[in-house]
Structure 1
């Protein structure tokens, strides 16, 4: 049987199954079985595509694919919006896209210029500024920005911000203070990065027993959590496994 016919049959069957499972009108089954490729194309455009546009998972998948194909798309879109309307919000949107693309210098400029007037102590803008500064290796400026953020917004909480603060303190050569910050942030951090960095600093400071405990905790926690979590945290899980092997052989 021709591969073209086999593909047509597979697509027709898949569409017919979709018709039945989603409660579409059954006349679609007749159309799909009679008109082959043309019917599949029409069904996809008329029934499947609108559904995908309103499906959050499908939209996330589409954004992920588009980001791989055209990583600058969202940045150009945000740049156009800023050109049409220069507001703190449009500056924030473009600044966040600059952060994602690694353009930290421009992100810092955008965040700094958005922190004016009513927004001069906005915690999200200040956190974005700190991320942009850290991305350029400005650990001291990062810590100062985060200190100012907390002073102006004492009720603000951000696990990402807290981890960033711990990393800035570590980079500034204050391991004791950094250990204190890491120890605090790991209590509520949603992933394994904070624990991994805490374990690495413990190892560098010579506290090998505690470092081993932290790395083992990463593996124990991840083994008990769903596969999607393990996929998302695979970088830090692999690091913990490697460090444990290194500590065991030393």
Structure 2
């Protein structure tokens, strides 16, 4: 033990570093809360037992996950680190990346960041060249641009773009397109809104259209229909896996709020 004494500070630093790495991995991969709590204690407060648990996490969770999918885990960590940067810095870096390489992905990434920063006009300007080029009918471009139109309270041009999307591209594209189209029609008080929501719900890949349709029904004074839809959503949430509940948390929470309105 005396021989290890000079190295104890270094060992402690390494263990604490492993705790930090483990905590980041646990947050990104949404590990159970007890791991996050233990790793958080180890990373910020230290302590021998917390350090031991951080080693256990590294060898039982972190390393196996890296072995099983090094590229996937690496991308997840990279996204986690990227998300820690201030939004203005990420926008500046995305703009520089676009200047170096003007691609669909780089424009879409910059527009998404500008939209998150509450700058829909800038985001729409970023996408504008794509709407008249070879990507004019690309679903990503049309959907993103339509969302920005809705954010700018311009439902008519949003609907025009959404009607150009090929619904056969994928089930997810179909769900998103019809949900946005129903919102655009609702904003214009169009009679086809109801049927569009129903179409969006059929084969939907998310709970968003059901939650938004319930809100629409309440605004229309059709409370009994809304209540039945919200009860169905509650049953879905109860039976859903933990992963699906986390994925659809926003819409399950929206449904819960709507149920309170009806009481």
- Tell me which of 153, 156, 161 is aligned to 2:169: 156
Residue 56 of structure 1 is matched in structure 2 by 72
- Tell me which of 114, 119, 135 is aligned to 1:119: 135
Once residues 20 and 57 of structure 1 are traced to their aligned partners in structure 2, the CA distance between those partners, rounded to angstroms, is 15
The 3-state SS of whatever aligns with 2:153 is coil
8 Å CA contact retained: 1:67, 1:73 = no
Aligned pair in 2 of structure 1 residues 237, 102: CA closer, same or farther (>3 Å)?
same
The 3-state SS of whatever aligns with 1:118 is coil
**Cα displacement string for residues 173-206 of structure 1 (whole angstroms, at most 9, x for unaligned residues):** 12x3111111111123333221111111112222
Aligned pair in 2 of structure 1 residues 98, 242: CA closer, same or farther (>3 Å)?
closer
1:76 aligns with 2:76: no
Residue 192 of structure 1 is matched in structure 2 by 207
Once residues 154 and 234 of structure 1 are traced to their aligned partners in structure 2, the CA distance between those partners, rounded to angstroms, is 25
Moved more, 125-134 or 225-234: 225-234
8 Å CA contact retained: 2:206, 2:248 = yes
Instruction: Please give the TM-score of this superposition, normalised by the length of structure 2.
Output: 0.68
Deviation at 1:61, TM superposition (A): 5.7
**Cα displacement string for residues 130-164 of structure 1 (whole angstroms, at most 9, x for unaligned residues):** 111111111111011212x23xx464341212111
Residue 202 of structure 1 is matched in structure 2 by 217
Bigger Rg, which one: 1
Q: Which runs of 4+ in 1 moved over 4 A?
A: 18-22
Deviation at 1:18, TM superposition (A): 5.8
CA RMSD of aligned residues (A): 3.4
Once residues 93 and 241 of structure 1 are traced to their aligned partners in structure 2, the CA distance between those partners, rounded to angstroms, is 32
Once residues 154 and 192 of structure 1 are traced to their aligned partners in structure 2, the CA distance between those partners, rounded to angstroms, is 18
